[in-house]
Amino acid sequence: MPQPERIFTLRELTRLLRLTPKRAAQLKRLGLLRADTAGYRFRDIVAARAAASLLGEGATVRQVRAALDGAKRLAPGAESPLAELRLLVHDQRIVVEQDRLRLDARTGQGLLDFATGDLERETRESLAMGMVRPLVPPADAAETWFSRASAWDGDPERWEEAVDAYERVVGIDPGYAAAWNNLGLLQHRMGRYEKAGACYRAALEADESCCQAAFNLGSLHEDLDDVTTAIVWYRRALEMEPDYADAHFNLAGVLGKAGQPDAAALHWRRYLELDLGSPWAQIARSHLEEPTPPPDLPDDDGDEKPEAGA
């Protein structure tokens, strides 16, 4: 019998996508985050991630909504167009890439700026010089392997396959920070701490604003009982993203371990400003001695928040 599909909670989705309060509010306006408790399938997470990426590239909520309506017309049989079509921001508009063509996602009109002429010219030059160029542009190949790795990295039985896929991504595009970060996460989970640290640092070299990689370096050093270095990296993550709730949570925990209760309290309080209702908030309140009715606590051992994927 096939295994039942995994259903994710809103909290899990928010953590997996590293959503800021502003981005979560935008996704709610798009109808991709809901107030009900029905949960989210993997396809829903992919759609929310695609929309968040478009917003992060500068698209407005109105543009994404119009593009989503247009994508439904372009792919009427698609259950989730955002998850099944490749959408990106190009020249301040959202376009759909399909079979090496670009279409305006809102109108479906074809665009003529996809440089097929350059590809043909490079192919002729390559043949004349005896060189071989890939038929698939490297960026597209990297995205294909990244999608495969992302689908596999949640299943421990496929971690090795996911590692191989992420390594293919960074082999094609060494500047792909998200792939370096996620590869580090897998190495971290598999107990390969030295490799994990190298991957997180490679993510920061590729993108110095990758706050997830800084957070994960803090988590790695905390696992290695190097509290001093963990504090440095959690603070670095908060310099990049001041409202990074999980970084406030973990920093508060290691400051407490380091004998700095007053500094820890500042971050416990800030965490509660960002997260009032989850089981993690109960843990934060317990450190501040603010009693509240106890909900079900997370399954994780200890108070440390999970790692941050990209």
| 90 and 30 in a common domain | yes
For 31-36, the CB contacts below 8 A with 24+ separation are 32/82, 34/10
**Residue 283 counted as domain residue:** yes
In a domain, 306, yes or no: no
- Do 36 and 172 lie in one domain? The reply is no
Strands (DSSP E) contained in 56-210 are 86-90, 93-98, 101-104, 110-111
Judgement on whether residues 76 and 177 belong to the same structural domain of the protein? no
**CATH code, 282:** 1.25.40.10
Which string of DSSP letters, residue by residue, matches 13-73? HHHHHT--HHHHHHHHHTTSS-SSSS-B-HHHHHHHHHHHHHHHTT--HHHHHHHHHHHHH
Same domain, 87 and 215: no
Domain coverage including residue 54:
10-112
pTM of the model: 0.54
Please indicate, yes or no, whether residues 107 and 226 belong to a single structural domain of this protein.
no
Within this chain, do residues 79 and 172 fall inside the same structural domain, yes or no? no
User: Based on the domain organization, do 216 and 89 belong to the same domain?
Assistant: no
In tens, the pLDDT along 278-292 reads 788 888 888 887 544
Query: Would you say residue 166 lies in a domain?
Result: yes
In a domain? residue 294: no
14 and 78 fall within a common domain: yes
Let me know whether 158 and 205 are in one domain.
yes
Per the structure, the count of domains in the chain is 2
233 assigned to some structural domain? yes
DSSP, res 76: T
Say what the pLDDT of residue 156 is.
86
| Per-residue confidence (pLDDT) for residue 310, from 0 to 100 | 61
pLDDT surpasses 90 at 204: yes
Has residue 301 been placed in a domain? Answer: no
Residues 150 and 264 both lie in one domain:
yes
Average pLDDT over residues 23-51: 81
Q: Which one is predicted more confidently, 117 or 35?
A: 35
